[in-house]
Amino acid sequence: MLEKLFESGKIGNLEIKNRLIVPPMATEYAAEDGRLTERYIRYYEEKAKGGWGLIICEDNVVDPRGAGFKNLAGLWSDEIMKEHYELVDRVHRAGAKIAVQIYHAGRESNSSIHGQRPVAPSAIQDPTQAEVPEELTTEEVKDLVEKFAQAIRRCKEAGYDAIELHGAHGYLINQFMSPFSNKRTDDYGGNFTNKLRFPLEIIERAKELVGDDYPIIFRMSVDEMVEGGLTPVDTKVIAQILEEKGVAAIHASAGVYKSGAIVSAPTSIRTAPFSHYAEEIRKVVDIPVFAVNKILQPQVAASILKEGKADFIAMGRASIADPHLPNKVRENRLDEILYCIGCWQGCQGKIAQQEAVSCLVNPKTGRENEFEIKEAKDKKKVMVIGGGPVGMEAAIVAAKRGHQVSLYEKNSKLGGQWLLAAIPPGKELLNTLTVWQKNELKKAGVKVILNTLVDKNTVLQENPDKLIIASGASPIIPSISGWDKSHVYTANDILNGKVDLAGNAVVIGGGLVGAETAEHIAVHNHNATIVEMQSDIAADMVSAPRHFLMESLKHNEVSIYTDSKVLEILDDAVIIETAEGQKKLAADLVVMAIGSKSNNELFDQLDNEFDISVIGDANQVGKALDGIKNAYELALNI
């Protein structure tokens, strides 16, 4: 089945060694002046070494005013192209073909990025942005056509094997094509033909500069998924026109910023949610079509190809999590693949904050040189306490460096509270990290001791050179009247399956844990209510996962009381204080989800008798992204 992934294919006259593509994804690794950095180059070089057939570099800007993020690569002058030649050379030497995405954000930008009001086809504010854009004059549109074409010329001269025009996700080219954003009445608006004039003129002028044979890929949003936007009926026609004009392939995505939560589908969304869009486009064109979005498993990628839905598979976040995925598949090392879990924490979540991309499951992402695992000169005896993801990460990296590592876990399973995080609906992907870490522990030769609560005597007997405490955190139990009644449990108890769900459940605390526990209860056909003291729930979540969690809570009729305080827990009810006064909620089950406190008592007991590091929630309750990265870095420096 998987051999389908490794058939060669053609994009125009460009031969690709397999069907696996790295699509463009913003990283913010470029310099603020638009030049490529060593970090940017090394990031893509690692993917090339990992066996991908074609790598498409991210969001390269044709004009500084077109940047939607602060640290994007620029293509606006010959003077900033030097590092592009090096990137192309290194990727080619590593065995991959390389393309670059040509881009202008249009109205999906703001003055905080480049100091100017954004520009767009029409002076209509993007629903996600704070500023009305300036409407481009006809002459300014023609000037941008030339800027796009000259950028393409620079890319060919730098040695890129192809380019991709970014005509998707509500950026400038998409804005001209779409009735959602284009209300012009000159040659670039008003009817279907005019709305396509901007991208078609770019293609025509580019071909004058680079020739008809240079492959131009076009990324489109097959469905903008907004009121009054483009639909597959429209874009199937557009795809046929693009083919007639010499486009070599269609990269079939969907969505714009307003519908952006689905564009990089998070954990809870089904696998390959856009594959049917590729299938629709493929029905009407003879050029290759790329499928994209949350295609994480090689088996799914191969099935999409076999079904004839697409000709190539773009696996973006999968390549962030594991740049060596293709080689591992080809060499039948499937158990070594680090799978993306769709968490958004290190990729889209960081980009939304104008920060450089990282990855929860792969701390080496974007730090390929800095975080290289090297053999330790001085081998040590390392003792790790706590078998959650943070403790396991520290143990794996330390053992790979040649240290003698033992890992102690008080429970009968490895995984810690990460196992509970994978219980709520749609969170099963989190288990792929636990399975990978367990396999890596075995391969690295880590001695794992389960069902053992470590105390001072255990440490004295082990007598390690280095002690790492990763003992996690425990639920906080607030001193609410009635907290000790027999029907009061923690969220951990619910997710652990220690409680028979029945009747009405009141969840006290509306953070991530409380909200997802309430969702879990409601999905399993029981009434759930959330009571939260703050003005909103799940406020600590990344945007897209939160968007779909809130949709699920609404769909499953979870009642939510914010700005509310629990006053008392009764045998069959909970008394709360709301802005409108006191209210009595029926409660057969009360669930505490107030938060967690660090388990680090052992550190105090040892009185600095050892070289000790406390990491993860044991040090400070926080996100797994930070805990795993800190564990990796610590183990690199033992």
In a domain, 361, yes or no: no
Enumerate residues 6+ apart whose C-beta is below 8 A from 486. none
Burial class (CB in 10 A: 0-12, 13-18, 19+), 266: buried
Residues 225 and 219: beta-carbon distance below 8 Å: no
pLDDT score at 251: 98
Residues 96 and 55: beta-carbon distance below 8 Å: yes
What's the CATH code of the domain at 83? Answer: 3.20.20.70
- 555 and 497 belong to one structural domain: yes
- 440 and 536 belong to one structural domain: no
What's the CATH code of the domain at 617? Answer: 3.40.50.720
> Tens digits of per-residue pLDDT, 538-571?
998 999 999 999 999 999 999 999 999 999 999 9
In a domain, 354, yes or no: no
Measured CA to CA, the distance from residue 491 to residue 49 in angstroms comes to: 44
In a domain, 346, yes or no: no
Q: Does residue 588 register a pLDDT over 90?
A: yes
In a domain, 371, yes or no: no
pLDDT score at 83: 98
- 139 and 156 belong to one structural domain: yes
Q: Which of 338, 364, 399 delimits the end of a domain?
A: 338
DSSP helix/strand/coil, 412? coil
Q: Does residue 391 register a pLDDT over 90?
A: yes
Measured CA to CA, the distance from residue 622 to residue 596 in angstroms comes to: 10
3-state per-residue secondary structure call for 285-305: CCCCEEEECCCCCHHHHHHHH
- 37 and 112 belong to one structural domain: yes
Measured CA to CA, the distance from residue 163 to residue 215 in angstroms comes to: 7
Rg (CA), the chain: 27
pLDDT score at 1: 85
Compute the average pLDDT of residues 189-215. 97
Compute the average pLDDT of residues 257-269. 95
> Tens digits of per-residue pLDDT, 500-547?
999 999 999 999 999 999 999 999 999 999 999 999 999 989 999 999
> Tens digits of per-residue pLDDT, 50-71?
999 999 999 999 999 999 999 9
Measured CA to CA, the distance from residue 634 to residue 628 in angstroms comes to: 10
Enumerate residues 6+ apart whose C-beta is below 8 A from 197. 176, 187, 188
The two structure tokens encoding residue 214: 């240079």
Confidence of residue 215 (pLDDT cuts 50, 70, 90): very high
Residues 249 and 218: beta-carbon distance below 8 Å: yes
> Nearest CA to 177 among 255, 168, 283, 52?
168
Separation in Å, CA 347 to CA 61, 367, 429: 20, 14, 16
Q: Does residue 309 register a pLDDT over 90?
A: yes
Report DSSP state, residue 481.
B
b/e sequence 486-522, b meaning 16+ C-beta within 10 Å: ebbbbbbbbbeeebebeebbbbbbbbbbbbbbbbbbb
The total number of structural domains in the chain stands at 3
Phi, psi of 319 (to 5 degrees): -80, -25
- 467 and 554 belong to one structural domain: no
Q: Report the interhelical angle of 624-636 vs 389-400 (nearest 10°).
A: 20
> Tens digits of per-residue pLDDT, 574-587?
999 999 999 999 99
pLDDT score at 607: 75
- 86 and 210 belong to one structural domain: yes
> Tens digits of per-residue pLDDT, 29-39?
999 999 999 99
Measured CA to CA, the distance from residue 203 to residue 247 in angstroms comes to: 8
Residues 278 and 235: beta-carbon distance below 8 Å: no
Q: What is the DSSP string of 189-203?
A: SSSHHHHTHHHHHHH
Compute the average pLDDT of residues 174-182. 98
Q: Which of 562, 577, 594 delimits the end of a domain?
A: 594
Measured CA to CA, the distance from residue 53 to residue 161 in angstroms comes to: 12
- Alpha helices by DSSP H, listed for 115-182, are 138-158, 172-177
- What is the distance in angstroms between the CA of the first residue and the CA of the last residue of the chain? 43
- The residue annotated as part of the active site, out of 29, 160, 171, 214, is 171
- 7 and 148 belong to one structural domain: yes
Separation in Å, CA 170 to CA 5, 113, 255, 274, 313: 31, 18, 7, 16, 22
Residues 257 and 128: beta-carbon distance below 8 Å: yes
In a domain, 349, yes or no: no
Range of the domain at 618: 381-475+598-636
Instruction: Give the mean pLDDT of the chain.
Output: 97
Confidence of residue 205 (pLDDT cuts 50, 70, 90): very high
- 227 and 256 belong to one structural domain: yes
- 225 and 290 belong to one structural domain: yes
In a domain, 539, yes or no: yes
Q: Which of 338, 368, 392 delimits the end of a domain?
A: 338
- 467 and 501 belong to one structural domain: no
What's the CATH code of the domain at 533? Answer: 3.50.50.60
In a domain, 366, yes or no: no
- 323 and 405 belong to one structural domain: no
Q: Which amino acid is at 133?
A: P
Compute the average pLDDT of residues 442-468. 97
Active site residue 277: no
pLDDT score at 608: 79
Alpha-carbon dihedral sign for residues 600, 606, 608, 613? negative
- 36 and 106 belong to one structural domain: yes
Separation in Å, CA 313 to CA 47, 267, 284, 356: 15, 19, 19, 25
Phi, psi of 100 (to 5 degrees): -140, 140
Confidence of residue 190 (pLDDT cuts 50, 70, 90): very high
In a domain, 525, yes or no: yes
Separation in Å, CA 434 to CA 353, 364, 387: 28, 18, 10
